[in-house]
Amino acid sequence: MVAIDPTLLPTFLAVRDAGRISAAAKIVHLSQPAVTAQIRKLEEALGVALFVRSARGVAPTRAGERLAAYARSVQRTLDEAAAAVRAGEEPLGALSLTASTTIAAHVLPPVLAKFRAAHPAIPLRLEVANTEEVLAAVKSGRVPLGLVEGHSRAAGVHLEPYVDDALVPVIGRTAPFRIRKVRDLAGVPILWREPGSGTRAILERALRTAGIRKKPLAIDLELASTEAILGAAVAGLGIAFVSRWSIQPHLVAGGVHLVPGLDFSVRRTFSWAIPAGGLQGTESRFYTFANGNPPVIS
């Protein structure tokens, strides 16, 4: 029987999510050597490598990904236990949330429906904004809990991974251009979200990393919602990079299609935005419930 020290798991998850020892050290408030020592201790206990090291950081091995799933399950169980202990003492009030556009439209609704079924008398309020606005609302305390896309850390707000996502490239059926390789993206109009959008931030970073684009071009378009971007893609105005959570109905309708043969998708994580003081009351109960009942792409 392998004995896993559960106190090492938060550090392990921080390294897995941040992709760098230095970034994880800031998250868990430890020195880099201390983080490295904890990961080494966990690997020695399990007898397997949990990360592959490179000049660009660390990436989880298959064993590391399997452990991450169990580690998150352990954390959810502890959160549920804490909520259950407090349940008899803490009456539930209204649930107030803020989320970025894609999450509000495609990720939260089924979770909110299940929560409402379990707690039918609780009023629900969901505020929709872009990622920067969500983070500002949570940091200021105006809204007690948020969900965002595209960020791994934010000053004054604790970010915790919730569900994975990927931005996938789509074009309209009648688009007047053809894209066969990644380098073709250099001359094709891209349909961008507005500044402050988490989707835009992570796409800009991915394109720069791939050496394709350093910044948007004059031929590009900027639109303030996913639906507007998909409408522009259907009209043949450019290529869109949209969440796999939002694209399925549009693929079925036939107005857009995935770019055939283009090996360029952008992985990201939708994350909880939690105030520095933590969660209380109804928001704490919903957070625990949502982690135990994550949404599934249909």
Q: Which residues contact 51 (CB under 8 A, 6 or more apart)?
A: 15, 16, 39, 58, 59, 60, 61, 64
Question: Model's pTM, two decimal places?
Answer: 0.64
Residue-level pLDDT at 185: 85
Architecture (CATH level 2) of domain 93-158+276-292: 3-Layer(aba) Sandwich (3.40)
Q: Tell me the domain boundaries of the chain.
A: 6-84, 93-158+276-292, 164-268
Do 6-84 and 164-268 come out as alike in CATH topology?
no
Structure tokens at 252: 């079925």
For domain 6-84, give the fold: Arc Repressor Mutant, subunit A (1.10.10)
Q: Which residue has the higher pLDDT, 104 or 198?
A: 104
Coil, strand or helix: which one is 19?
coil
Cβ-based neighbour number of residue 258 at 10 Å: 13
**If you average pLDDT over every residue of the chain, what do you get?**
86
| DSSP code, position 154 | B
pLDDT digits (tens, 9 = 90+) for 22-70: 988 988 888 999 999 999 999 999 999 999 998 888 999 999 998 988 8
Is residue 49 within 8 Å of 58, Cβ to Cβ?
no
Does the structure show a pLDDT above 60 at 245? yes
CATH number of 164-268: 3.40.190.10
Is residue 245 within 8 Å of 107, Cβ to Cβ?
yes
Structure tokens at 68: 């991450």
Q: What is the mean pLDDT of residues 111-118?
A: 92
What percent of the chain shows pLDDT beyond 90? Answer: 37
CA distance 269 to 168: 14
Does the structure show a pLDDT above 80 at 151? no
CA distance 68 to 172: 38
- Tell me, letter by letter, the H, E, C secondary structure of 32-45: HHHHHHHHHHHHHH
CA distance 101 to 35: 35
